[in-house]
Structure 1
Amino acid sequence: MPAEKENGGQGIRTVQRALDILACFSEAQSELNLTQISEKIGLAKSTTTRLLATLEQNGYVEKDLSTLKYRLGKTIYYLGHIAGKSIELKTIAKPIMDKLRDETKETINLHILDGTHRVCIEQSLGLNTISHSIKIGAKHPLWAGAGGKAILAFQDDEFIKTVLEGAVNPREELINELKEIKTTYFCSSIDEEEIGSSAVSAPIFNLDGVVKASLSISGPTSRFSQENIKHYQKIVKDAAILISSKMGYFHEES
């Protein structure tokens, strides 16, 4: 029995060391050589080499024979893709939306891309006597309203061109605004889609870094002062980044 326990402990250490190797890689350091890896995990090169060989055999790492550097392998990508698919956006977003609603007292909406439109799939209704709400499941244009523009800004040029062909708002102004959204990661709309209602929104990124959803704070225009808008821009962006990270997206601060 003692020998069995000892072997079990050794197995656990081996697994942990293998996981430590995988954790060495990052977006900033996507390729590492043997020396760098052994130094990062604090193991001898001989032990590190054996672990890397096993990981390579199973597709968890790949070795570039020309540079002798290692990178994460296809198995990691496949597992990440499966994990991303299994994560339900609404399940992740709802508690974050409720918290944002409690903080602002305004309605929080979760939009997703649907063809050349957006659809609200989840909502945390505002706590004020007069609140703004939209029908869940109804289609809305991407070019009007903060929730739509936060998604549209991160689509490819051809898609944006197609969407803007049906826009009522001035095309040049929209193009400039979309460029700004890609820099700031938030946008606002005042009396844009509906007179008397305003919103602030931010994009949500999926595991692959693609924007297919957005998070919005919406309410009566009378409560959207410049001071409130500025505050909402920060907190909705932070909330959207949190949802994105829980979806598997890595956000690197500039």
Structure 2
Amino acid sequence: MSAKTKPHEKAESGLRTVQRALDILYCFTLEQQELSLTEIANKIQLAKSTTTRLLSTLEQNNFIVKDPDTLKYRLGQGLYYLGYIAGKSIEIKELAKPVMQRLRDESRETVNLYVLENDSRVCIEQCEGLQSVRHLVKIGEKLPLWAGAGGKVLLAYQPADFQNRIFEQVPSRERLEALQQELPQIKSERCASSIDEREVGSAAVAAPIFHINHEVKACLSISGPTNRFTPETIDRLKQLVKRGAMAISEKLGYQEKR
């Protein structure tokens, strides 16, 4: 047999090298933004000599930067540039659509995707419910943040000064006090519900969609006629919408803090 390396063995070796390089990049987290050679080698369970060669190649391509004083490594400008391009190319509607369709099929109710736009929320995507009587929102229609499950869940995750500005829009003191009491609970449960709030005869549940930076600028909601939203149904739909919103969040690069 020939002593030369066979083509398929070369291919496997190349794939292994690529995977190891990716493993190095994934060593870095928000909590550990700088790592030493020893820390990286231990994390990926490779010899320091092999790890050094991989780090050198990543450094040459600006994916890794080595601090000359501490000798620690961090992610480089090349990854920031690629991440910026990826962020620009990600369209939340495209990511959300299959999740929304699955959620619509499971709930048989209308599923909406809302985004924050100035002091309002706007529906940018919708999957109509499968029932003969269903609740619909116009695509592009601006709706308040102080009423309705979708509005409240978006409001719950905004800064205090933003919330105070929205509070001024609430038409009555009674509704304002109820809203102020509800927002911390919404944030704690990561879910909101509403019955006959924005529109008599309609009900909804909603959950926040988290971006990679943990901001909430979008949410997912399930809505329908009030008579179908019994307490038991609301509990079930809350679980569905939370699961769906988290699936979209993860597609956007969100990761839970540990």
TM-score, length of structure 1 as denominator length:
0.89
Instruction: After TM superposition, give the deviation of residue 37 of structure 1 in Å.
Output: 1.7
Report the counterpart of residue 151 of structure 1 in structure 2: 154
Instruction: After TM superposition, give the deviation of residue 100 of structure 1 in Å.
Output: 0.8
Instruction: After TM superposition, give the deviation of residue 239 of structure 1 in Å.
Output: 0.2
SS at match of 1:129: coil
Aligned length: 252
Report the counterpart of residue 114 of structure 1 in structure 2: 117
RMSD (CA atoms): 2.3
Q: Structure 1: which 5+ runs fail to align?
A: none
Instruction: Give, in whole Å, the separation in 2 of the partners of 1:59 and 1:181.
Output: 42
Instruction: Give, in whole Å, the separation in 2 of the partners of 1:3 and 1:105.
Output: 58
Instruction: After TM superposition, give the deviation of residue 151 of structure 1 in Å.
Output: 1.2
1:190 aligns with 2:190: no
**Residue by residue, what CA displacement relative to the aligned partner does 1:94-132 show, whole Å, maximum 9, x if unpaired?**
111111111111111111111111111111111112111
Instruction: After TM superposition, give the deviation of residue 30 of structure 1 in Å.
Output: 4.1
SS at match of 1:180: helix
Instruction: After TM superposition, give the deviation of residue 56 of structure 1 in Å.
Output: 2.9
Which structure 2 residues correspond to residues 116-155 of structure 1 after superposition, within 5 A?
116-155=119-158
Bigger mean CA deviation after superposition, 144-153 or 52-61: 52-61
SS at match of 1:136: coil
Match of 2:184 among 164, 173, 179: 179
Bigger mean CA deviation after superposition, 16-25 or 168-177: 168-177
Report the counterpart of residue 244 of structure 2 in structure 1: 239
1:49 aligns with 2:52: yes
Contact 1:84/1:248 (8 A) holds in 2: no
Instruction: Give, in whole Å, the separation in 1 of the partners of 2:186 and 2:65.
Output: 37
SS at match of 1:167: coil
1:95 aligns with 2:98: yes
**Residue by residue, what CA displacement relative to the aligned partner does 1:11-35 show, whole Å, maximum 9, x if unpaired?**
5443332112112234454443322
SS at match of 1:176: helix
SS at match of 1:96: helix
Q: Structure 2: which 5+ runs fail to align?
A: none
Contact 1:132/1:197 (8 A) holds in 2: yes
Over 3 Å counting, the alpha-carbon distance change for 1:9 and 1:235 in structure 2 is closer
Over 3 Å counting, the alpha-carbon distance change for 1:154 and 1:185 in structure 2 is same
**Residue by residue, what CA displacement relative to the aligned partner does 1:27-79 show, whole Å, maximum 9, x if unpaired?**
45444332232123232112212222332343323345565443333332332
Instruction: Give, in whole Å, the separation in 2 of the partners of 1:150 and 1:78.
Output: 32
Give the aligned residue type for 1:236. Answer: V
Contact 1:112/1:121 (8 A) holds in 2: yes
Report the counterpart of residue 24 of structure 2 in structure 1: 21
Report the counterpart of residue 209 of structure 1 in structure 2: 214
1:161 aligns with 2:164: yes
Bigger mean CA deviation after superposition, 135-144 or 14-23: 14-23
Give the aligned residue type for 2:152. Answer: K
Identity over aligned residues, as a percent?
56
Bigger mean CA deviation after superposition, 195-204 or 31-40: 31-40
Match of 1:222 among 221, 227, 231: 227
Contact 1:241/1:251 (8 A) holds in 2: no
Instruction: Give, in whole Å, the separation in 1 of the partners of 2:128 and 2:254.
Output: 27
